[in-house]
Amino acid sequence: MARYKVKDKDLKELAKIYNSDGKHAVYEQLENHYNVKNPYFVFRRMRDHPDLSYDIKNDCFAASTSETQSAENVFMSMEELCSPIIPQHISTKEQQEMDTRPAAMDKLIRELIGDRLLELSKYITIDSLSKRIIVDKTTLTQDGYQLIIH
For the chain, the structural domain boundaries read 8-72, 111-150
Q: Per-residue pLDDT tens for 34-72?
A: 888 888 888 888 888 888 888 888 888 875 544 445 555
Residue 18 main-chain phi, psi, to 5 deg:
-60, -45
The pLDDT value given to residue 71:
52
Using CA atoms, how far apart are residues 14 and 23, in angstroms rounded to an integer?
9
Q: How would residue 33 be classed by pLDDT, with cut points 50, 70 and 90?
A: confident
Determine the average pLDDT of the residues in 126-131. Answer: 92
Q: pTM higher than 0.85, yes or no?
A: no
The pLDDT value given to residue 65:
46
3-state secondary structure 51-87: CCCEECCCCEECCCHHHHHHHHCCCCCHHHHHCCCCC
The pLDDT value given to residue 109:
92
Using CA atoms, how far apart are residues 72 and 54, in angstroms rounded to an integer?
20
